[in-house]
């Protein structure tokens, strides 16, 4: 059956079916995909700065936690910390509505930047540059999102049960 499918699809003749090379997703010159989708809780209030031209930039840490059972059936939680950067209108929304513990969906791309510290050592930071932000907190009667800083970060423990702490604050903004 595989041989029949290969011959029918053009593999035997070396000709790609038209649907392959006409697809925007697959081509002879395939481009990479840099897409990130995260759902998690803010580790602290967004740090918002305004650059020349009144361009807003918000930066905050986001915790994502995966929970699974190991071979013995024990429930394991693994938390990853991500640095999220939002620009312009999204930065203003973050400043106005997001707080420590807020539950959000962030969609964006990875960006790695480098710099030299005071001792001349080269440092690297990988960040998620957000293109889309959806606030997932439940609404209250007043229309504002529920804000429970401690509740939003409950259960964010390492696999060994130790408490997860904020990422190192010595990264430059």
Tens-of-pLDDT digits for all 173 residues of the chain? Answer: 444 444 444 445 555 555 544 555 556 667 899 999 999 999 999 999 999 999 999 999 999 999 999 999 999 999 999 999 999 999 999 999 999 999 999 999 999 999 999 999 999 999 999 999 999 988 765 555 554 444 434 333 343 444 444 454 554 44
CA atoms in the 13 A half-sphere facing the CB of 73:
0
Locate tokens 């959806």: which residue?
Answer: 134
Say how far apart CA 126 and CA 121 lie, in whole Å: 17
Q: Are 96 and 90 in contact (CB under 8 A)?
A: no
Tell me if residue 6 falls in helix, strand or coil.
helix
Tell me if residue 91 falls in helix, strand or coil.
helix
Predicted pLDDT of residue 164: 41
- The CA dihedral of 166, 68, 104, 85, to the nearest 10 degrees, is 50
Q: Are 7 and 1 in contact (CB under 8 A)?
A: no
């Amino acid at each position: 059956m595989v041989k029949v499918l290969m011959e029918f699809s053009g593999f035997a003749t070396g000709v790609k079916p038209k649907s392959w090379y006409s697809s925007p997703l697959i081509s002879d010159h395939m481009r990479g995909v840099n897409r990130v989708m995260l759902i998690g809780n803010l580790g602290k209030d967004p740090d918002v700065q305004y650059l020349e031209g009144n361009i807003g930039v918000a930066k905050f840490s986001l915790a994502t936690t995966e929970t699974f059972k190991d071979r013995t059936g024990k429930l394991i939680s693994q938390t990853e910390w991500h640095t999220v950067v939002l620009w312009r209108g999204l930065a203003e929304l973050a400043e106005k509505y997001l707080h420590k513990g807020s539950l959000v969906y962030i969609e964006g791309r990875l960006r790695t930047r480098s710099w030299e510290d005071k001792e001349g050592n080269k440092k690297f930071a990988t960040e998620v540059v957000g293109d889309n932000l959806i606030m997932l907190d439940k609404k209250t009667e007043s229309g504002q999102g529920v804000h429970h800083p401690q509740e939003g970060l409950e259960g964010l423990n390492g696999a060994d049960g130790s408490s997860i702490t904020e990422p190192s604050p010595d990264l430059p903004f």
